[in-house]
Amino acid sequence: TWTPDAFVDKTVAELKAKIGDEKVILGLSGGVDSSVAAVLLHKAIGKNLHCIFVNNGLLRKNEFTDVLKQYEGMGLNVKGVDASARFLGDLAGESDPETKRKTIGRVFIEVFDDESHLVENAKWLAQGTIYPDVIESVSATGGPSQTIKSHHNVGGLPDFMKLKVVEPLKMLFKDEVRRVGASLGIDKALLGRHPFPGPGLAIRILGDITPEKVAILQEVDAIFIDGLKKWGLYDKVWQAGAMLLPVNSVGVMGDERTYEKCVALRAVESTDGMTADWVNLPYEFLQKTSNDIINKVPGVNRVVYDISSKPPATIEWE
């Protein structure tokens, strides 16, 4: 029978044999899969694993610095690359969801390629691909692209894509990845993190993206997510987040009428993201969260809760 401990022992031995003393590059995302893949490889080859964690400027509030610190604390050889300005610059004025995704994918590849050139004589590219990603990429469902390779565009392969590929989690399902992570001693909070899309807050800001909108959404999202944790609801929800809507609505503050932004909160239950139900969060929680958001985040005067399930709605709004 399959056990996480046995998987770790066997995989570490295989990775040592396969990689020897060659250098490996791995892109960390802050998510469960890439983190578990990194710790597994680190156990096998130590400092020859070179991790790269890119800030695309579309992560959650404080996520880049917090997660980077956490990775360093785990002993990983990790370089944080803050490319926010480059991503936001290239996204400026763009409202089309698919173009936003493509731009982010392209800039990521450019940044990652630049960084991988700085690791001299690297031979391998490691990825946290898991079994459902493998199936998805062959089933042509048009599902989200989770791996670096799937972003690639046919003309002129970047150098890091010519490296040999190692994918130690390729045969595992998500729950198995979490169990392997626990067996490796990875922090429970990291292993229990909600899924977060690669394009990040870009697809939760409907319409064009500006640094101001990102800052507003980061504040709103942080209040919502921290609230879910405080109320013991975070682990009962599969994924949660906030959307910044491209509409202003009238409100009132003191004697004045305001005309400000509206945010939608979304929390869903799911097992694989393919179907999802909205979560019946307690009214008291929604009331407190809405008050906090409107009182603490300048520029937002209205909060709505998304009560649509997938299908026919999707989890993200873009």
Tally the C-alpha atoms within 13 A of residue 181's C-alpha that lie toward its C-beta: 26
Binding-site member from 168, 198, 219, 220 for ligand XMP (CB under 6 A): 198
Would you state the structure tokens that stand for residue 197, as one six-digit string?
């899309």
Going through the chain in order, the beta strands assigned E by DSSP cover: 23-28, 49-55, 78-82, 122-126, 164-166, 239-253, 256-269, 277-278, 300-305
Binding-site member from 27, 168, 199, 227 for ligand XMP (CB under 6 A): 199
Sequence-separated (6 or more) residues with CB below 8 Å from residue 158: 109, 110, 112, 113, 152
Q: Is 197 in the site for ligand XMP (CB under 6 A)?
A: yes
Q: Is 101 in the site for ligand XMP (CB under 6 A)?
A: yes
CA 194 to chain centre: 9
- Least distance between ligand XMP and beta carbon 17 (Å): 32
The dihedral over CA atoms of 229, 298, 208, 247, expressed in degrees to the nearest 10, equals 100
Cis peptide before 195 (omega within 30 of 0): no
Helices within 151-210 (DSSP H only):
174-183, 188-191
Q: Which stretch binds ligand XMP (CB under 6 A): 4-12, 143-151, 219-227, 294-302?
A: 143-151
- Check whether 270 is labelled as a binding-site residue: no
Binding-site member from 80, 132, 144, 251 for ligand XMP (CB under 6 A): 144
- Check whether 183 is labelled as a binding-site residue: no
Element (H, E) at 68: helix 63-73
Instruction: Please say which residue, 23 or 310, places its beta carbon nearer to ligand XMP.
Output: 310
- Check whether 35 is labelled as a binding-site residue: yes
- Least distance between ligand XMP and beta carbon 301 (Å): 26
Q: Is 31 in the site for ligand XMP (CB under 6 A)?
A: no
- Least distance between ligand XMP and beta carbon 16 (Å): 31
Question: What residues numbered 241-280 form the site for ligand XMP, per CB under 6 A?
Answer: 273
- Least distance between ligand XMP and beta carbon 316 (Å): 3
Find residue 163's DSSP bridge partners: none
Q: Which stretch binds ligand XMP (CB under 6 A): 144-152, 164-172, 215-223, 250-258?
A: 144-152
What gap in Å lies between CA 106 and CA 131, rounded to an integer? 25
Instruction: Catalog residues that contact ligand XMP under the rule CB under 6 A.
Output: 101, 144-146, 195, 197-199, 203, 239, 273, 310, 314-316
Write out the binding residues: 29-35
